[in-house]
Chains A and B, each alone.
Chain A
Amino acid sequence: MKKAPIFVLLALSVAALSAQAPAPATATGTRAYVETLASDRFAGREAGSTGEQQAGDYIAAQLARIGARPLPGRQDVFMSFDFTAGSRDGGSQLSSGSQRFSAPADVVALSFSDDGTVSAPAVFAGYGIVVPEAQNFGYDSYATLDVKDKAVVVLRYFPEDADKETKSILARYSDLRYKALAARQRGAKALLVVTGPRSPNAGQTVPITFDTALAGSGIPAASISGKAAAALFGSRSIEAVQKELDSGNPHVAGFALDGVTVELSTKLVREKRTARNVVAFLPATSPVTGVQKPWIVVGAHYDHLGLGRNGNSLASGADVGKPHVGADDNASGSAAVLAVAESFAHRPMRRRNLVVALWSAEEIGLIGSNMFVNAPPIPLDQVAAYFNFDMVGRMQDNKLAVQATGSSTTWASLIERANVAAGFNLNLQPDPYQPTDVATFNQASVPSLNFTTGAHLDYHKPSDTPDKINYEDLDRIAEFATTIAARLMESDQAPQFVKVEQSSQTVNRTGVRVFTGTVPDYAADAKGLLLSGVIGGGPAEQAGLQKGDVIIEIAGQTIANIYDYTYALELLKIGEPVKVVYTRGSERRETTLTPAARR
């Protein structure tokens, strides 16, 4: 609401500009697409839902209107695929001697567990962490233990009292999947995870997270309550055992739980659903013989979070359970793709075929685009380029991030030329390993670009609504991308693919268990961590941080980028205040932030 005047101003200045500019790329503009896709009737377009079906039908109708056809050899524009939409415990059980424990109170299968029943002697293996030898660090919870054919019991997380450096290393190998792998590789028959009394979420089972990966852990794996753990530990105090381990001393060994044999039966119910990519193409207007790689793909995901039940929602309070209409994420990108398609449909000359792809199941792990790439209906080595749009509706101050520019040496020149007229304040990011479908095509060695205007306070909330979209600039982005694609369209030559090395610092939140309530601006290229907002009532807001602040230091760790920040968060302790240094405007400030627990 406070934003309205600014919004109007922006709209006016852009309108004034475009009065001098060439005619816009689209006759209809992007507004109608966004307002329809983000309307309540599609209920947030959750992959596999009725709303997603209806949204797909709408997109198909628009593609038909534009004149795009089903891909060669296909009857229609729908490409269906099955995926795991969620999991729940289907009645796992644990018994030891005469004591029996059952789901969901005291035993819950881990989301990647195999189904099965195992009976085996129990061995306690500390935190169950193995740091690879290549790291030259020397921490192996199994160093002195024989766990072959045993049921391994481990603590969740990593040693609580270790120094920062130790923690930072151990945290990277504390992911439960990794712990299960380590146990299995040493011959264990099952894994039981206990959240220690000295850790956050003490004594609680681990909620089943949404895990779409097909590969299981290869063994039954479950978390158990503090009560069930106490039964296994008998007279020993778990707290005392954990305290000894918490120093991080690698020489504190695990031990066999003498005389304890457990019987574990795990059962996960995975809910399968069917989602649809909507893919069509505009054929080249002349024979493509002599044209190198005669295909170009433009794409965006059209699915979103539905009612926000799958764990990716950031809704709070009264907003929980409402439709996440996803106007910016990613009705805006879908609209841009349709606008680009429409613009090309009106061009007299297309030397390449243009594939127009709207992906589903992006929000739960880039599944739709991966399905396309893994069973490509067109030869991927004949695709000259892929253009992706993800969240392009919230432009502020003329700032546009273009990501994956490192995927070809051609991009710099094409972007430079197109932007002389477009005039965006560009933030170019070479890294193609982005959390959107551009990563899928980069993995398939296709030169790719992703356009985004970045995250904001309404990200993954029901409040990401069409009235907050900056349509004039959304149209400009579609036109900009069209200009770049058109230059490729006119050339016989295809861009050369460049493989960008994946940074070892890729953001990985598995080790992060604290909640700070910060909303990083992922599109920003600031020195430090620019906040695009803070979550209401969260620790950051309580610390006085606000949108626009740039965090440059937290708990003594200097922050240069999002990776540093994520890394620093691994080391924070819940409830333990830390100093945060940040800049607001040109002023350097300090505050104290007290992290809360992430569920």
Chain B
Amino acid sequence: MTQTLRRSWLPLVLVLSSLPLLAQQSSAPKESDFLSRIRRLTVEGRRAGEGYWGPDGQRLVFQSEREPGNPFYQIYLMDMASGDVSRVSPGMGKTTCSFINPQTGDVLFASTHHDPRSKQLQDEELQLRSSGQERRYSWDYDPEMELYVRSAKTGTLRRLTNMRGYDAEASYSPDGQWIVFSSTRTGYEGQLSAAQQKQLETDPSYFGEIYIMRADADGSGVRRLTTVPGYDGGPFFSPDGKRIIWRRFDERGVIADVWTMNLDGTDQRQITDFGAMSWAPYIHPSGRYILFASNKLGFENFEVFLVDIDGTKEPIRVTYSDGFDGLPVPSPDGTRLAWTSSRGGGREGQIYLAQWNHQHALDALAAAPPKQKATKGSGQ
């Protein structure tokens, strides 16, 4: 759940792409090789993103700025048969990064609605927008962000974390028993050195690390899985539930790569090595390959890529559209892809949906050359 990145980079991306830059002049491969019947799924609201499927592919949970009076994302559930959309989150404050429990249908998300300043922050943001100003959106890693779950059965909302720091970007294991998430809590506990304090003020995401806990947790029994300096976030379980995939930033927060590890944090392996910002990984239900986003082709141009599960091959480009394409999430049966894109024009992203050509993905992987080593710092 790489919400944070999308927030912080998208506006800049789009400002730059309004320059008459030409897309890469790649000749042979095309978007239509992988994606067919492409269409915009979300329409309402200023923007929407991060669509995650329910286990039967009949529901999609996503975040969208469409709540009247609230300029921030709230969480919505779409019925893929009837088109009905209902809000899952409380409507107040900021939310991000939702996920559906594959067993119970409960909806997990991060929210700040308990923050008494929520209404005030909403009004300030609305005022800023109505004044015609556009915030150079930097996602604030609000330390009020806590994990909540909305029960599918009873409709009640339960708080899962209670720790100062940004707790978000959470997802369930396939058996619904575990939650993996990202938190900046180490930036708010104990004594920080002067350098650490400065780091917290300028870029709190630096403290982002991956944690795991039981799905029925009450805030205790949380286990930390990563310790490397720099932002670790956006974790998901593999389809067999045996590994975790996430993205790791370098200390400067500039270069990111996709990694995988065991559930106890051992055997951490780097999958991508573009020397660019590669993030938002998600494993196809076949377990054969990973879909992710990268700005390898230009700082302002995020595209979806594909790489084999072990990262032994050179990644393959999937999307070929101007602007932003990222946060790819295949449907549970592997035949459809939901992703976030600004291809519809304007500055804001919306969720798109297409048929996914799994066979072509396998063929392309088989034909792909071995992974090339990145020349660090190039392409930036």
Could you tell me which A residues sit within 8 Å of B by CB distance? 398, 412-413, 415-421, 423-428, 525, 527, 552, 558, 583, 586-588
Contact = CB atoms under 8 A, between A and B. Distances in A.
Contact of B20 (A398, A425, A552): A552
Given A412-B43, A417-B83, A420-B83, A527 B27 contact: no
A347 to B, nearest CB: 17
B85 A416 contact: yes
Given A413-B43, A525-B345, 8 more contacts: A398-B39, A412-B44, A413-B85, A415-B43, A416-B43, A420-B81, A421-B82, A426-B43
A398 B355 CA distance: 13
B83 A558 contact: no
Which of B40, B66, B80, B344 counts the most chain A CB atoms within 10 A? B40
Contacts of B42: 416
B25 interface: yes
Interface in B25-55: 25-27, 37-45
B267 interface: no
B35 to A, nearest CB: 11
Given A423-B37, A552-B20, A558-B20, A586 B25 contact: yes
B374 interface: no
B322 interface: yes
Given A421-B82, A421-B83, A423-B39, A586 B44 contact: no
Nearest to A418: B83
B85 A588 contact: no
* A-B residue pairs, 3 tightest by C-beta: A420-B83, A416-B43, A417-B83
Contacts of B39: 398, 419, 423-426
Given A412-B44, A419-B83, A586 B38 contact: no
A586 B26 contact: yes
Task: Find the residue from B24, B37, B82, B322 having the highest chain A CB count within 10 A.
Answer: B37
Contacts of A420: 41, 78-83
Contacts of A552: 20
A527 B323 CA distance: 12
**Residue from the set A416, A527, A583 with the largest chain B CB neighbour count within 10 Å:** A416
A588 B345 CA distance: 20
Given A586-B23, A586-B25, A416 B320 contact: no
Interface in B75-130: 78-85
Contacts of A527: 322
B47 to A, nearest CB: 12
B366 interface: no
Contacts of A413: 43-44, 66, 85
Interface of B: 20, 22-27, 37-45, 66, 78-85, 320, 322, 344-345
A588 B22 contact: yes
A424 B352 CA distance: 11
A178 B320 CA distance: 47
B44 A416 contact: yes
B84 A425 contact: no
Contacts of A428: 43, 344
A391 to B, nearest CB: 21
Contacts, number: 64
Nearest to A417: B83
B105 to A, nearest CB: 19
Contacts of B320: 586
A425 B40 contact: yes
A428 B45 CA distance: 13
A418 B242 CA distance: 39
A557 to B, nearest CB: 12
Contacts of B25: 586-588
Nearest to A583: B22
A43 to B, nearest CB: 39
A433 B112 CA distance: 42
B38 A425 contact: yes
A525 B342 CA distance: 13
A587 B40 CA distance: 25
Nearest to B24: A586
Contacts of A421: 81-83
A223 B42 CA distance: 55
Contact of A417 (B26, B38, B84): B84
Contacts of A425: 37-40
A586 B27 contact: yes
15 contacts: A412-B45, A413-B44, A416-B41, A417-B83, A419-B43, A420-B41, A423-B39, A425-B40, A426-B43, A428-B43, A428-B344, A583-B22, A586-B24, A587-B25, A588-B25
A412 B346 CA distance: 15
Contact of A398 (B23, B26, B37, B81): B37
Contacts of A583: 22
Contacts of B40: 425-426
A558 to B, nearest CB: 6
Contacts of A423: 37, 39
A428 B345 CA distance: 10
A586 B45 CA distance: 31
A416 B82 CA distance: 11
Nearest to A526: B345
Nearest to B79: A420
A400 to B, nearest CB: 10
A323 B45 CA distance: 46
Interface core residue of B20, B66, B81, B320 (most chain A CB under 10 Å): B20
Nearest to B353: A423
Nearest to B64: A416
B52 to A, nearest CB: 16
Nearest to B354: A425
Contacts of B83: 416-421
Contacts of A419: 39, 41, 43, 83
Contacts of A424: 39
Nearest to B26: A586
A278 B79 CA distance: 39
A588 B24 CA distance: 10
Nearest to A588: B22
A398 B35 CA distance: 14
Interface centre among B22, B83, B344 (most CB of A within 10 A): B83
Nearest to A405: B43
B78 to A, nearest CB: 7
A552 B23 CA distance: 13
Contacts of B82: 417, 420-421
Nearest to A428: B43
B106 to A, nearest CB: 22
Contacts of B85: 413, 416-417
A412 B348 CA distance: 15
A421 B58 CA distance: 11
A428 B40 CA distance: 10
A448 B248 CA distance: 48
A417 B66 CA distance: 14
A334 B345 CA distance: 31
Nearest to A411: B43
A549 to B, nearest CB: 15
Nearest to B43: A416
A241 B39 CA distance: 59
Contacts of B345: 525
A259 to B, nearest CB: 58
A552 B42 CA distance: 29
